[in-house]
A and B are shown apart, each in its own frame.
Chain A
Amino acid sequence: MANRILIVDDEPNIVISLEYLLKKEGFEVKVATDGEAALSQAADFRPDLVLLDVMMPKKSGFEVCESLRADATLADLKIIMLTAKGRETEVTKGLALGANAYITKPFSTKDLVARIKTLLA
């Protein structure tokens, strides 16, 4: 069975690439465009991995990450955070709050796919 990936990002212009790319790689993909949608989708869709953008309206990626980690039923969930800011302190915060990996935009799609595959292996 194909692994499920939830893309959480409010920018359609990145979502289109990510969605196309990951579907092509054979994943089952869903998209949430804000933090709250992400939490409800995570409960329904039960993804194996979440691609989580930090800068979002309503709830930030950090908050979503914390909530996901607080949910014991999602213990195996992998989280990759995406950010447009390159600050090291932010990366550290993401990892401290439970993200498995942290990727800074712009990134190479090949690297991203490789990271995802490693995490899901």
Chain B
Amino acid sequence: MNAKTRFALAVAVLGLLMTGPFLLTVGILWVDLGAEERAGFLVAMDRWLPVGGLVTIMTLILGLQLLRALFQQYVHGLLRMAETLRLMLGANRNFRVAPEGPPEVRDLARAANDLAQQRNELLDDVEAQIRVAKATVEEEKNRLAALMSELALGVVVCNLDGRILLYNSRARLQFKALAQGPTSMSGGALIGLGRSIFSILERGQITHSLENIQQRLRKGSAEPTANFITATRGGALLRCQMAPVLRTGASGEAAGHSDGIPPAEQGGDDVRQAAPAQVEKVTVLPGDELQVTGYVLTIENITRNFEREAERDQALQSLTDGNRAALGNIRAAVETLLDSPEMEADFRERFMRVISDEASAMSSRLDATMNRFADSLKTRWPLEDVLAIDILSAAARRIENKLKLPIKHEEQDSNLWMRVDGFSLIQAITFLASRLQDHYEIRELRLRLAAEGKMVFVDLIWSGTTVSSETLYTWELEPMNVGSETSPLTLRDVVERHGGEIWYQREKAAHRAFFRIVLPAAATPDAPAVDQAQHLHSDSRPEYYDFDLFAARDAEGAGIDLDRKLSELAYSVFDTETTGLQPSQGDEIIQMGAVRIVNHRLLRQEIFDQLVDPGIPLKPEGIPIHGITEAMVNGQPRLDVVLPAFHEFCAETVLVAHNAAFDMRFFQLKEDSLGIKFTQPVLDTLLLSAVIHPNQESHKLELIAERLGINVIGRHTALGDAFVTGEVFLKMIPLLADMGIVTLRQALEAAQKTYFARIQY
């Protein structure tokens, strides 16, 4: 019942109250009176009724006035106040109720205002706290960014697919410096968010290191990291350390607990106390709970250090080993002389000559060594301490997988550590197994592990067929190729690199033979089984990585899934400047620019920006438009090197351009002669604009940008236009979503329709 109905009802009740008793009294009198008395009464009524009616109406009006005033003040006043309160609740919390009307209402208004004031203060407080918290997070982020960028090491974070999720500027610089090729960004451009690390580092080595780490995790190792050295295409040496990024089954609780905040759903005190117990459980249970979701690679270019180190090493070796023989000769001669006083003079002189010759040979060797210090020398590889049994089981798995050769394990000391380069050693073992299988048709291989003093013996044992030592000598000098896998190293290289030896021996009694690889043992590192969860959740780990990125979403790898959301795809937005508008009439590309979009962000650091020598004179009328002169393109690479580099840059991404058909025609004319093909989907912002604003006449880039509220700077360079196109495209994605165009397939279809529509009309 609204206020108006209630008012009408109140008026009716008031009317009844004022007339009712009078009419009732008259009625009762009327029934009680006799006939003459009724006539008298009628006469009296007739005389007095107008006065009585008037008085009644007057008082009724008075009553009505009173009722209206009450209604105004109490009912309407309260309704107004309710509206105001609602306004304060929603739109404007600083608004206040004006205390008006009767004292009770004013009192209520004041109470409401006080309440609002208190709420305001609370909200201010909360906001202030949020601001502080945000500032802290922002500061931490900035600190991490600063830290990462200041690091002398390159840092790259990847998910299990090998996609790069994070890198610092040093990593970019390192890879850029390694870049091969004539354009400024080929190679350097290959590091980028969402790109594959395998274009830079060897897949086998990464997988091997990951395996190693997983094995260490299962054993509850305190430091589940792996080190390896890798050579790039250009011959530079990179030292990489890999540390796993882990997700544990109970990581959320553990993290919540360490912050001192109980997880939201755990309200009561009992539950809160139970939380630490759960954390304990995680620490006790190694292995199963820990899931590697990715890895952090720290990368250091050690080519220079390494060469220096190797030279120093070589120098040291030539000074010690090289002089041993000479010193031996001198010592033998001197001792013989001393012991033989009876020696004849000419013999004595021959001995003196030996001493003199060897001494001067030592001096010149010393000089030569010092001179050779600066020369490049034979490489030696840094080695890593590993559990010997880990290498053996990795080798066994590899042999069984690759060669289908059954492996048996003989007695293996599981506590032996050795100092090796795991990857090449496993290659060596696999190589020997494959040679034995190919040439001697052995049906199974036994692996044995033993130690003696500071040495570890790795034995590959087989029964029956004997092999000659000569065969082993030949194998030692062959490159270690197994199936399709090739290696530039020989078995001898690997053994020598480790300062080891290898030989062939027979166990005649058992009708068996074996190859023995002797390797230097490493001191058993004290590996205290430290509290794993503590290690994994220690403060040293930044907490603000976006762990959603670790989900392996790109199952197909290289292919682009047409049914993925537009907002999730990676794009290369590009533009070209050309000598003219007629590619088929000999116009050529003179500049290419591109920028990547990954995870809905325009990555202004991940760009392709290259002038191209068109090989034909520039048209004077074009120069004012693109601002590129003959002098600028002279000496720049030709399109036949730039286009392949661009092709590599935009691999596995969707291409985006404004009026893409124009640029694509230039590419297509070159595709055959260069043997490359742009097969990825292409989105055209011109067509998409026509999809979004079908009634607009112009779909020029500047006008679209203006419509979408984008500042245009640096237009008419290829890169500048690519930036604008990229920003336009990012603004278009939500607009398209409003129209129900969400996936790449839908966008391509919609663009195609417009395209046909435009052609038809």
Q: Is the CB of A109 within 8 A of B354?
A: no
Q: Which of A19-44 contact B (CB under 8 A)?
A: 20-21, 24
From B321, B336, B357, B452, give the contact of A17 (CB < 8 A): B336
* A17, A18, A92, A96 — most chain B CB neighbours (10 Å): A17
Count of residues in A whose CB is under 8 Å from the partner chain: 32
A13 CA to B327 CA in the complex, in Å? 11
| B183 smallest CB distance to A (angstroms) | 49
Q: Which residues of B are found within 8 Å of A14, using beta-carbon distances?
A: 325, 328-329, 332
Which of B339, B455, B520 is in CB contact (< 8 Å) with A109? B339
Whether a CB of chain B sits under 8 angstroms from the CB of A88 is yes
Q: Is the CB of B328 within 8 A of A89?
A: no
B329 touches A17 (CB 8 A): yes
* Closest Cβ–Cβ distance, residue A62 to chain B (whole Å): 8
Knowing A11-B325, A88-B455, the reply to whether A109 touches B331 (Cβ < 8 A) is yes
**Interface contact A105-B516, CB-CB below 8 Å:** no
- Tell me the A57-76 residues at the B interface (CB within 8 Å): 62-63, 66
Do B327 and A106 touch (CB < 8 A)? Answer: yes
Interface size on B, residues (CB 8 A): 38
Taking CB atoms and an 8 Å cut-off, the chain A residues in 98-121 that contact chain B are 104-110
Task: Report yes or no: A17 in contact with B327, Cβ–Cβ below 8 A.
Answer: no
| Contact A97-B335, Cβ < 8 Å, known A20-B340, A105-B327 | no
Residues of A within 8 A of B756 (CB): none
User: Which of B325, B336, B351 has the most CB atoms of chain A within a 10 A radius of its CB?
Assistant: B325
Complex contact A66–B331 (CB within 8 A): no
Closest to A83 in B: B324
B499: A residues at CB distance < 8 A: 87, 89
Residues of A near B327 (CB, < 8 A) are: 105-106
Q: What is the CA–CA distance of A117 and B503 in the complex, to the nearest angstrom?
A: 30
B501 x A20 contact (CB < 8 A): no
Indicate if the CB atoms of A20 and B347 lie closer than 8 Å. yes
How does the 8 Å CB contact mask read for B520-536 relative to A, with 1 for contact and 0 for none? 10000000000000000
- What separation, in Å, do the CA atoms of A36 and B324 have in the docked complex? 25
Cross-chain contact of A21 among B336, B354, B452, B519 (Cβ < 8 A) = B336
Taking a contact as CB atoms closer than 8 A, the residue among A63, A84, A97 that contacts B324 in the complex is A84
A28 and B331 CA atoms in complex are apart in Å by 23
A1 within 8 A of B: no
Say yes or no for B160: interface residue by CB 8 A criterion: no
User: How far does the alpha carbon of A93 sit from the alpha carbon of B501 in the complex, in Å?
Assistant: 7
Q: Which residues of A contact B505 (CB under 8 A)?
A: 96
The answer to whether A16 has its CB under 8 Å from any CB of chain B is yes
| A17 and B332 within 8 A (CB) | yes
Contacts of A16 in B (CB 8 A): 333, 350-351, 354
User: A109–B503 contact, CB under 8 A?
Assistant: no
A84 touching B453 by the CB < 8 A rule?
no
Residues of B within 8 A of A24 (CB): 336, 339-340
Kindly state the separation between the CA atoms of A55 and B321 in the bound complex, as whole angstroms: 12
Verify A17–B351 contact, CB threshold 8 A: yes
Interface: B500 (CB within 8 A): yes
B428 CB–A CB distance under 8 Å = no
Interface string of B311-333 (1 = CB under 8 A from A): 00000000011101101111111
Nearest-Cβ distance from residue B420 to partner chain A, whole angstroms: 13
Mark each residue of chain B from 443 to 459: 1 if its CB lies under 8 Å from any CB of chain A, else 0.
Answer: 00000000011110000
B199 at the interface (CB under 8 A from A): no
Q: Please state if B469 and A105 are interface contacts (CB–CB under 8 Å).
A: no
- CB nearest to B337 among chain A residues: A17
B518 touches A (CB below 8 Å): yes
Interchain residue pairs with CB less than 8 A apart (28)? A13-B357, A14-B328, A14-B332, A16-B354, A17-B329, A17-B332, A17-B333, A17-B336, A20-B343, A21-B339, A24-B336, A55-B325, A63-B473, A84-B321, A84-B322, A85-B321, A86-B320, A86-B321, A87-B499, A89-B455, A89-B500, A92-B501, A92-B518, A93-B501, A96-B503, A105-B328, A106-B324, A110-B335
